[in-house]
Amino acid sequence: MIVTLTPNPSHDRTVALPAALVRGAVQRAESVTSQAGGKGVNISRASVAAGIPSIAVLPAPPEDPFVLELLSAGIDCRAVPTTGTLRVNITISEPDGTTTKLNSPGPTVTDEVLTGLTESLLRRAASADWLVLAGSLPPGAPATWYAELVEVLRGHGARVAVDTSEAPLQALVEGLPDSAPHLMKPNGEELASFTGADADLLESDPYAAAKAARTLVDRGVETVLATLGANGAVLVNAQGAWHATPPPTTVVSTVGAGDSSLFGYLLGDIRQRNPAQRLALAVAYGSAAAGLPGTTIPHPTQVTPELVSVRDLDLTQGG
């Protein structure tokens, strides 16, 4: 079972344009879709579609349409009661696959709600294959909350994966090794934010990305899955490093691709695949998501890991 935490859930609204976005102009949308989302929620969607039980933990009023939408989709949603209106995130999607995101901050969270979220995760720690902490933190949550939460959850024997950015990611890294999760999933830009490397270099050079990821492994993180956009992803652990190249993909929307990649890795782990096979599943899920509109999460029948090329990386030899 995969238990996900989405501390700052959102109604994800996607506006698909028939032509390139022109700032300051009036343009007609080709379509507008809306879906209950957030990184953890997206992973729970992928999990349920793949037949892996999942529980989505998040703050929301119990009768909020967001919660009801997830329940009607077959996702076991455990909402910790809170007040305020859930945020709306807007994605503008252009025909060439360019996506522009406008994310709102979300309602302010209280210490009582943060405690409720922690207790909800702890109740399920022993029975879950993975606990996934994903996405931004809402206003009112300290930037160190993920780092502190990882320490608590690891103390209860849970395997923890984290996918976040900006201040919460920085706090997590600064807290290593005490705050080390079992799995981290940064992208190239996020790797650059705490290693001082050039983000464009990390995105384009798998060796450079793997070496940056290795610094996290050296500081206590068990496994790092670093997604590199069109250049696939690298996987690094104490035993080795691997790079996977995605199959040819016509990019429709990159929203949700990283979440799908993380789920692909978790699925491979639950199915006891070796590291290279887990990476292949991760990249296959990510590329499948990139080929779908909006925040659509791929079904297993749309995922083709056999088309992903994986190679070992010898980090002692350079690029």
Write out pLDDT tens, residues 110-140. 999 999 999 999 999 989 999 999 999 999 9
Summarised one tens digit per residue, pLDDT across range 237-260 is 999 999 999 988 888 878 889 999
> Which residues are the active-site residues?
259
- CA dihedral over 164, 225, 289, 36, signed as positive or negative: negative
Prediction pTM value: 0.92
Measure the CA–CA gap between 265 and 269, rounded to whole angstroms.
6
What is the per-residue pLDDT for 319? 47
Average pLDDT, the chain: 93
User: Which domains, and CATH codes, for the chain?
Assistant: 91-113+125-312 (3.40.1190.20)
End-to-end CA distance of the chain: 38
Summarised one tens digit per residue, pLDDT across range 261-284 is 999 999 999 999 999 999 999 999
Q: At CA 165, angle to CA 38 and CA 253, rounded to 5?
A: 50
- CA dihedral over 258, 146, 70, 10, signed as positive or negative: negative
Measure the CA–CA gap between 276 and 296, rounded to whole angstroms.
26
Asked whether 95 and 127 are in contact (CB, 8 A), the reply is no
CA 203 and chain centroid, separation? 17
CA 14 and chain centroid, separation? 18
pLDDT tens sequence for the chain (319 residues): 999 999 999 998 989 999 999 999 999 999 998 889 999 999 999 999 999 999 999 999 878 899 999 999 999 999 999 988 899 999 898 998 888 989 989 899 999 999 999 999 999 998 999 999 999 999 999 999 999 999 999 999 889 999 999 999 999 999 999 999 999 999 999 999 988 889 999 999 999 999 999 999 999 999 999 999 999 999 999 999 999 999 888 888 788 899 999 999 999 999 999 999 999 999 999 999 988 887 788 999 999 999 999 999 998 765 4
Report the 10 Å Cβ neighbour count for 166.
Answer: 12
Query: In this structure, what token pair is assigned to residue 55?
Result: 């529980």
Under DSSP, is residue 163 helix (H, G, I), strand (E, B) or coil?
strand
Measure the CA–CA gap between 132 and 285, rounded to whole angstroms.
17
Measure the CA–CA gap between 282 and 264, rounded to whole angstroms.
4
In angstroms, how far apart are the furthest CA atoms of the chain? 56
Report the 10 Å Cβ neighbour count for 198.
Answer: 13
